């Protein structure tokens, strides 16, 4: 969006945005469950291809990001982890491929939070110029 605004001479102009957040948390109370590998139908969501409860430090977890049910290609994906899942521990993981997939290297046990943002220019800019959809997935990797 910043590049788009810069090439059109809009960097100095205010930008108005509508946004929605869609959060998904995986809590385990028993055995791993394939349910967590299925989409729930949110406008934007992370769908792990394996239950994170089956993963250990050193494994990879592949996730797919869907936007309106279709793979969200070329989205930046970030993660935070640790006791406090905040910006202090934010790491950029890269971009999703054409199938909306990206691998997460699970290098340590603990809490993990993935997030991504899909932004679109609104066709009608009377109320807002942009619309963003935020997705997050929180889960735990056990030792």
Torsional sign, CA 125, 98, 51, 114: negative
- pLDDT per position as a tens digit, 102-124: 998 898 888 888 888 888 888 88
Report whether 121 contacts 4 (CB < 8 A): yes
Report CA Rg, the chain: 17
Buried (b) or exposed (e) across 2-25, using 16+ Cβ within 10 A?
Answer: eeebeeeeeeeeeeeeeeeeeebe
- pLDDT per position as a tens digit, 33-65: 888 999 999 999 999 999 999 999 999 999 999
The mean per-residue pLDDT over the stretch 27-35 comes to 83
Of the two residues 101 and 28, the one the predictor is more confident about is 101
With vertex at residue 10, the alpha carbon angle to CA 135 and CA 3, rounded to the nearest 5 degrees, is: 50
pLDDT at 87 over 50: no
pLDDT at 84 over 70: no
């Amino acid at each position: 969006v910043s590049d788009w605004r810069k090439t059109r001479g809009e960097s100095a102009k205010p930008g108005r945005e509508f946004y929605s957040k869609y959060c998904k948390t995986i809590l385990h109370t028993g055995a791993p469950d394939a349910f967590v590998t299925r989409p729930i139908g949110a406008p934007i969501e992370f769908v792990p291809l394996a239950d994170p409860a089956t993963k250990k430090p050193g494994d990879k977890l592949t996730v797919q990001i869907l936007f309106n049910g279709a793979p969200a290609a070329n989205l930046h994906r970030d993660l935070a982890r640790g006791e406090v899942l905040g910006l202090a521990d934010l790491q950029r993981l890269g971009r999703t491929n054409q199938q909306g997939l990206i691998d997460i290297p699970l290098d340590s046990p603990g809490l993990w939070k993935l997030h991504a943002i899909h932004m679109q220019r609104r066709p009608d800019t009377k109320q807002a110029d942009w619309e963003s959809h935020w997705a997050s997935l929180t889960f735990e990797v056990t030792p």
